[in-house]
Structure 1
Amino acid sequence: MDAMSTPAWDPAQYLRHAGHRARPFVDLLARVPDLPSATPAVADLGCGPGNVTAVLADRWPTAHITGYDNSPAMLDRALTEHEGPTPGGGRLDFSYADVRTWAPPQPYDLIVSNATLQWVPGHLERFGDWIAGLRPGGTFAFQVPGNFSAPSHQLMRELAHSARFKDRLADVLRHDDAVLSPQTYLEQLTSLGCEADVWETTYVHLLTGEDPVLDWVKGTGLRPVLTALADDPAARDAFLAEYRAALREAYPATAHGTPFPFRRIFAVARKEA
């Protein structure tokens, strides 16, 4: 979504690790309780290319699901591959929206967000409007990466603030306060009158291929850097070369692949019926 700078998204790059990226969303949905309507209205904030939005139709076949995103490239992919009627009698739609200002245009049974809110400064303050837009007994559920202190992000920020790159990159990356603690999310959601379930999990993804951690972050966290340096290929390539070397040292390959620990924070908040 949006950060200090607006990154240009590449759906194909993002989807290169689609299986690993989708698993937390499936784990999140497993904890969502029954929805109040037989034909639920569902909003997916930050739907990206729509591949995990489509998973919602597997869980709630009759639902009318709308995916929202602010990336034209991501929306084009979602519209092309996923929009339309679903086998269970529901429907998938996609629409442009900026999550920083989006407000529910109708009552929803479920508002869900997968790995998006870390791009939305001040997202905690948006929870009240979103929960107000739920039907009684509806649910707000999200997951965000909690790995901003991991080497993948620390090394990226250190290099962006180095003498060579700080003039171009010092202000483009998110910091370690891009997401809040599980306790903070729990306090905010319960103060809004919800029954909340908040937890964290560290996945250890076994990545394969050459420089797989770099390939992963090229689809997400590195997007602001790639966008900022898009007009300077020499600087972009120099950044990538130095960052690649640092990642190889931080995440050494094994005979079976490259282990990539990835912490995520989850929250499921049910509005009072």
Structure 2
Amino acid sequence: MHSVPHWDPQQYLRHATHRTRPFLDLLARIPELPPGTRPARIADIGCGPGNVTALLADRWPDAHITGYDLSADMLEQAEKRYAGTTPGGGWLDFRPADAAHWTPDEPYDLIVSNAALQWVPNHPESFPGWIEGLAPGGTFAFQVPGNFTAPSHDLLGRLCDLPRWRERLGDQGRRFVHILEPEDYLLRLADLGCATDVWETTYSQLLQGEDPVLDWVKGTALRPVLTTLDGDEAAVEEFLGQYRQMLREAYPPGPHGTVFPFRRVFAVATRTA
């Protein structure tokens, strides 16, 4: 099992509107699921606090949907808010699982992952097993951030590389860069015999508040650093102070807020019936 940062569901959800939009765009491109005599079976890999898992129940109200995540804190939040019978008569549950090792235990009509696979080294190696675990005509769909060369992430890596932090933090500022380019995902999924749709989008996000980019990355990219420094408040404050100043220069506020461009990579692959 690969190491996992400590997640803060409340911090993650502070920017829920912006974080949910790419999933809604992905959801809109997922085709209808194969017809069958049973309710659709859906897996959400890296479900986090469950807020987007619940959106799957809006699209397929009678489906049995399971959200999988490695974070006990995220699963607790998801269970508390969303588990149980859905308004459409379906069922929503959550289970612990490491995306690096999860394999389908039954045929799924849809396997979906939202902003999670970037944390999983060599995740494309799981694609053959996941596609094989789909029912004929089933779909595998995911989106991952594609902004790891953006100032927010480049500056984080540079800061971790400074002598003050290098020995203590190592590669914590760069450990999540595991994504491929869109064309690589396209070819891998096409090689598996799927009808494949791959694209990318850069969202020009307008963030509000004081140091909003820092607040954003506290919910995601900063989690490995904050986990490593946990318990040393002086070190946390020192690191955040240095990173805050770098982000202020890279993302200056404007009259309407702070512009934070964010690139995302999407893929929808349907197994031939």
**Please, which of 3, 7, 15 is the counterpart of residue 13 of structure 2?**
15
- In 2, Cα distance between equivalents of 1:171 and 1:213: 21
Q: Counterpart in 2 of 1:30?
A: 28
Q: Which runs of 5+ in 2 are unaligned?
A: none
* Native 8 Å contact 2:153 2:173 kept in 1: no
* Native 8 Å contact 1:185 1:267 kept in 2: yes
* Residue 177 (structure 1) shift: 4.4
- In 2, Cα distance between equivalents of 1:83 and 1:108: 19
Cα 1:226–1:176 shift into 2, 3 Å: closer
**TM-score normalised by structure 1 residue count:** 0.97
* Native 8 Å contact 1:43 1:67 kept in 2: yes
- In 2, Cα distance between equivalents of 1:177 and 1:185: 15
Q: Counterpart in 2 of 1:222?
A: 222
Q: Counterpart in 2 of 1:149?
A: 149
* Residue 175 (structure 1) shift: 5.0
* Native 8 Å contact 1:251 1:260 kept in 2: yes
| Equivalent residue pairs, number | 271
* Native 8 Å contact 2:119 2:177 kept in 1: no
Q: What amino acid is aligned across from residue 26 of structure 1 in structure 2?
A: L
* Residue 176 (structure 1) shift: 7.7
Q: What amino acid is aligned across from residue 221 of structure 1 in structure 2?
A: A
* Native 8 Å contact 2:118 2:176 kept in 1: no
* Residue 171 (structure 1) shift: 2.3
**Residues 106-185 of structure 1 aligned to structure 2 (within 5 Å):** 106-174=106-174, 177-185=177-185
Q: List per-residue Cα deviations over 1:171-209 (Å, max 9, x = no partner).
A: 223358421100100010000000100000000111001
* Native 8 Å contact 1:37 1:109 kept in 2: no
Q: List per-residue Cα deviations over 1:133-185 (Å, max 9, x = no partner).
A: 00000000000000000000000000001010001112223358421100100
Q: Using the TM superposition, name which of 29-38 and 91-100 deviates more.
A: 29-38
Q: Which runs of 5+ in 1 are unaligned?
A: none
Cα RMSD for the two superposed structures: 1.2
- In 2, Cα distance between equivalents of 1:143 and 1:215: 22
Q: What amino acid is aligned across from residue 247 of structure 1 in structure 2?
A: L
- In 1, Cα distance between equivalents of 2:211 and 2:50: 26
Q: List per-residue Cα deviations over 1:10-64 (Å, max 9, x = no partner).
A: 0000000001000000000100001013521000000000001000001111111
SS of 1:164's partner is helix
Q: Using the TM superposition, name which of 177-186 and 198-207 deviates more.
A: 177-186
Q: What amino acid is aligned across from residue 121 of structure 2 in structure 1?
A: P
- In 2, Cα distance between equivalents of 1:169 and 1:177: 16
Q: Counterpart in 2 of 1:237?
A: 237
SS of 1:224's partner is helix
